[in-house]
Amino acid sequence: MKTLYLVRHAKSSWKDKSLSDIQRPLNKRGFRSAPDMGERLKKADVEIDLIVSSPAIRAITTATILADAIGYDSRYITQDDRLYFEGQVSMFDIIRKTKSHYKSLMIVGHNPDMTSLLNKLCGYQTVNMPTCAIARIQFDMAWSEVIDHCGNLQSYDFPKKIHSK
């Protein structure tokens, strides 16, 4: 059994127009929602074997905050340029080339690619991933065998989702 966590980066800032897109940081809402989502992962006893992130500042920051919340050493977050708007083909490649000893993988990236990949893996047409959304998908196969419509969406959470107390 393999578990994939797809994470769209937290809300980013457009305030500083001198920054390139890849340099944009999180905004105040992003810095509130990422720790909140990290706490939700911690409460669910989530353990991640490997985190791969887009090199964009907003994605790396989100990945680091989530990693810290669940006790994953953020020094081991892998940055992969293919997660910076290169599309589903590159994301499938990252998944399929994940070493078999990893039971869980977290990918932190951008829309529209994250939403497209979620829908493709689970056979949905309409799920949209808002900022800092986390989808947990399970596979009954090796990473190298992952194809369209083979995933089972186990959970889907995002900052504005109402949870019962």
Average pLDDT of each block of 10 consecutive residues along the chain (165 residues)?
98 96 97 98 98 99 99 98 89 97 98 95 86 98 96 95 63
Domains recognised in the chain with CATH numbers = 2-157 (3.40.50.1240)
Q: What is the pLDDT of residues 92-121, one digit of tens each?
A: 999 999 999 999 999 999 999 999 999 999
Rounded-to-integer distance, Cα 27 and Cα 79, Å: 21
CB 74 within 8 A of CB 101: no
- E strands in 45-122: 50-53, 78-79, 104-109
Helix (H) or strand (E) holding 4, with range, is: strand 2-8
